[in-house]
Amino acid sequence: DEQQLAEAFDATVAAEGRIEPRDWMPEGYRKTLIRQIAQHAHSEIIGMQPEGNWILRAPSLRRKAILLAKVQDEAGHGLYLYSATETLGVDRTELTEKLIDSRQKYSSIFNYPTLTYADIGVIGWLVDGAAICNQVPLCRSSYGPYARAMVRICKEESFHQRQGFELLMTLMAGTDAQREMVQDAVNRWWWPSLMMFGPADGDSPNTQQSMAWRIKRHTNDELRQRYVDMSMPQAEALGVTFPDPELRWNPERGSYDYGAIDWDEFTAVVKGAGPCNAQRLAHRRAAHEGGQWVRDAASAYAAKQAERAAR
């Protein structure tokens, strides 16, 4: 009965086992996973836009090939994650409709503009660096399909981060104007990248339960701190600074202290008032509507094949 199933679920989670699609799970667990994985999938899909903006203006054939491959990887991550969400009993068309109707969220970070090619490097270095910090522990998430999707995604994200860093090292070895371009991009992306980890632990309604279910393995603030600590030596190696006068090593904590995050900005961006929210959603909506004939044709073809097979 239900009581026994609930006990088996709790025991599996406590023993670091995996919950699989056909296993019994609490309704809240299913809902939380759908919310988090769909939001993650949407972020990958919307995240193609800020970088896609530069594909036609990449400074060389080599840079264009790299960027094109990276944006394609992001499409792959999105599809992978939508498939993981479908194992929980939802339909990806429904999820896309929720995204374009603003009934589901995507990461705040993708609502900022990409103004120069240095932004492409900084997205790889900082945004993908933050994504890795957040996602590597999710490879140990209690839900099997999500954890397994995360393994491949993290491998590709690590590669993306390296390519961003390499792009920035190239620019830093260039002219003063190129170095200034990098510093300007770092100044614009640093604070938004800290916001990717979500609200401070005291203001995060979902963390406690998600940690108990082992969907999340660390709190938002723990991962944010890990990201700051990881990024500082990289900034030094690169020769850039972060726009935070309070950023300094704290020998007692063995970590970097950092200044206060502008949570009003975070809330505004999550609610739709960021610099590019309207543009991102309008573009996604147009792509979805413009692709209707492809979906119709594929369905008509599948129906015809099925009819032939039945004859």
Q: Which residues bind ligand ACO (CB under 6 A)?
A: 35-36, 39-40, 43-44, 47, 105, 107-108, 131, 134-135, 195-199, 204-207, 210, 216, 220, 270
Q: 47: which 2 tokens?
A: 């995240």
- SS3 label, residue 257: strand
Q: Which of 194, 81, 62 is nearest to 120 (CA)?
A: 62
Q: Which is nearer to ligand ACO, 12 or 193 (CB)?
A: 193
Q: How far is the CB of 283 from ligand ACO (least distance, A)?
A: 17
Contacts of 232 (CB under 8 A, 6+ apart): 242, 247, 249, 256
Residue 78 and residue 247: Cα distance in Å, rounded?
34
Residue 145 and residue 133: Cα distance in Å, rounded?
20
Q: How far is the CB of 105 from ligand ACO (least distance, A)?
A: 5
- Is residue 122 packed enough to be buried (19+ CB in 10 Å), middle (13-18) or exposed (0-12)? buried
Q: How far is the CB of 186 from ligand ACO (least distance, A)?
A: 18
Residue 225 and residue 74: Cα distance in Å, rounded?
26
Q: Which is nearer to ligand ACO, 49 or 210 (CB)?
A: 210
Determine which helix (DSSP H) or strand (DSSP E) holds 149, and give its type and residue range.
helix 144-172
Q: How far is the CB of 211 from ligand ACO (least distance, A)?
A: 9
Q: How far is the CB of 90 from ligand ACO (least distance, A)?
A: 15
Q: Which is nearer to ligand ACO, 118 or 215 (CB)?
A: 215
Q: How far is the CB of 26 from ligand ACO (least distance, A)?
A: 16
Cα-Cα-Cα-Cα torsion 45, 48, 53, 58, nearest 10 degrees, comes to -160
Q: Which is nearer to ligand ACO, 31 or 304 (CB)?
A: 31
Q: Which is nearer to ligand ACO, 118 or 132 (CB)?
A: 132
Q: Which is nearer to ligand ACO, 179 or 218 (CB)?
A: 218
Residue 197 and residue 108: Cα distance in Å, rounded?
10
Q: Tell me which amino acid residue 174 is.
A: G
